[in-house]
Amino acid sequence: MFESLSDKLQGVFENLATRGRLSERDVNAALREVRLALLEADVNYKVVREFVGRIKERAIGLEVMESLTPAQQVVKIVNEELVKLLGDPAPLNLSGPPPLVLMLVGLQGAGKTTMAAKLALRLRKQGQRPLLVAADIYRPAAIAQLETLGRQIDIPVHNEGTEVAPSSIVKNAMRIAREKAYTVLILDTAGRLQIDEAMMQELEQIRLVARPADVLLVVDAMTGQEAVSVAQGFHERVPVTGLVMTKIDGDARGGAALSIRQVTGVPIKFLGTSEKMDGLEPFHSDRLAGRILGMGDVLTLIEKASDGISEEDALAMEERLAGGQFDFEDFRDQLQKLQRLGSIQDILKMVPGMGQMARQLDGQDLNSDLKQIEAIINSMTTQERRLPSVLNASRRRRIAGGSGTTVEDVNQLVKRFRDMQKMMKQAGMLGDQRGTKKKRRRRRQREPDSEGILASLRQGRLS
Partner 1 sequence: MLRRLFGRQQEKTADDVRIEESLQKTRSGIFSQIGSLFQENEVSDALWEELEEALIVADVGMDTTVELVESTRARVQQEGIRRSEDAYLVLKQEMVKLLEAEEPLQIEEPRILTVVLVVGVNGSGKTTTIGKLALRYKEKGKRVVLAAGDTFRAAAIDQLQIWGERAGVDVIAQAPGSDPAAVLFDAIRASQESRNADLLITDTAGRLQNKFNLMQELEKIRRVAAKQVHRAPHETLLVLDASTGQNAILQAKGFEEASGVTGIILTKLDSSAKGGAVLNIKKQLGIPVRFVGTGEKLEDLAEFEPVTFVEGLLGE
Q: Which of residues 278-337 bind ligand GDP (CB under 6 A)?
A: 279
Q: Which does 259 bind (CB under 5 to 8 A by kind): Mg ion, partner 1, ligand GDP, none?
A: none
Q: In this structure, are residues 170 and 133 in contact, taking their beta carbons and an 8 Å threshold?
A: yes
Q: State the Cα angle at 338 between 318 and 420, rounded to 5°.
A: 50
Q: Per CB under 5 A, which of residues 105..144 are in contact with Mg ion?
A: 112-113
- In whole angstroms, the minimum distance from the beta carbon of 111 to ligand GDP comes to 3
| Residue 143 CB-density burial (10 A; 0-12 exposed, 13-18 middle, 19+ buried) | buried
247 near ligand GDP, judged by CB under 6 A: yes
- In whole angstroms, the minimum distance from the beta carbon of 272 to ligand GDP comes to 3
Q: Which does 449 bind (CB under 5 to 8 A by kind): partner 1, Mg ion, ligand GDP, none?
A: partner 1
**Out of 251, 346, 408, 432, the residue judged to bind partner 1 by CB under 8 A:** 251
- In whole angstroms, the minimum distance from the beta carbon of 108 to Mg ion comes to 8
Rounded Cα–Cα distance for residues 200 and 196 (Å): 6
Long-range Cβ contact pairs of 452-457 (< 8 A, separation 24 or more): 452/420, 452/423, 453/420, 454/357, 456/416, 456/419, 456/420, 457/366, 457/369, 457/370, 457/373, 457/416
Q: Which residues contact 192 (CB under 8 A, 6 or more apart)?
A: 105, 107, 108, 199, 200, 202, 203
Q: Per CB under 8 A, which of residues 82..121 are in contact with partner 1?
A: 84, 107-111
Q: Is the torsion defined by CA of 54, 58, 61, 63 positive or negative?
A: negative
Rounded Cα–Cα distance for residues 315 and 459 (Å): 29
**Out of 81, 249, 303, 330, the residue judged to bind ligand GDP by CB under 6 A:** 249
- In whole angstroms, the minimum distance from the beta carbon of 283 to partner 1 comes to 19
Q: Per CB under 6 A, which of residues 74..103 are in contact with ligand GDP?
A: none
Nearer to ligand GDP, 191 or 212 (CB): 191
Q: Per CB under 8 A, which of residues 331..350 are in contact with partner 1?
A: 334-335, 337-338, 341, 347
- In whole angstroms, the minimum distance from the beta carbon of 449 to ligand GDP comes to 44
Q: Which residues contact 110 (CB under 8 A, 6 or more apart)?
A: 191, 218, 219, 220, 246
Q: Per CB under 8 A, which of residues 10..49 are in contact with partner 1?
A: 36, 39-42, 45-47, 49
- In whole angstroms, the minimum distance from the beta carbon of 453 to partner 1 comes to 5
Q: What are the CA-CA distances from residue 34 to residues 62, 78, 420 (Å)?
A: 17, 8, 38
Nearer to Mg ion, 64 or 137 (CB): 137
Q: Per CB under 6 A, which of residues 117..156 are in contact with ligand GDP?
A: 139
Local structure of residue 263 (DSSP, 8 states): H
Q: Which does 291 bind (CB under 5 to 8 A by kind): Mg ion, partner 1, ligand GDP, none?
A: none
Binding map of partner 1 across residues 264-283, x = CB under 8 A, - = no contact: xx---------x--------
Q: Which of 193, 107, 186, 180 is nearest to 149 (CA)?
A: 186
- In whole angstroms, the minimum distance from the beta carbon of 158 to partner 1 comes to 17
Binding residues for Mg ion, total number by CB under 5 A = 2
Let me know how long the chain is.
463
Q: Per CB under 6 A, which of residues 164..193 are in contact with ligand GDP?
A: 191, 193
> CB under 6 A: which stretch of 242-250, 259-267, 345-353, 442-450 binds ligand GDP?
242-250
Q: Which of 246, 214, 225 is nearest to 109 (CA)?
A: 246
- Do β-strands 157-158 and 268-272 pair in parallel, antiparallel, or remain unpaired? unpaired
**Out of 112, 122, 207, 261, the residue judged to bind ligand GDP by CB under 6 A:** 112
Nearer to ligand GDP, 256 or 376 (CB): 256
Local structure of residue 21 (DSSP, 8 states): B
Rounded Cα–Cα distance for residues 383 and 152 (Å): 66
Interaction site with ligand GDP (CB under 6 A): 106, 108-114, 139, 191, 193, 246-247, 249, 272-275, 279
Interaction site with Mg ion (CB under 5 A): 112-113
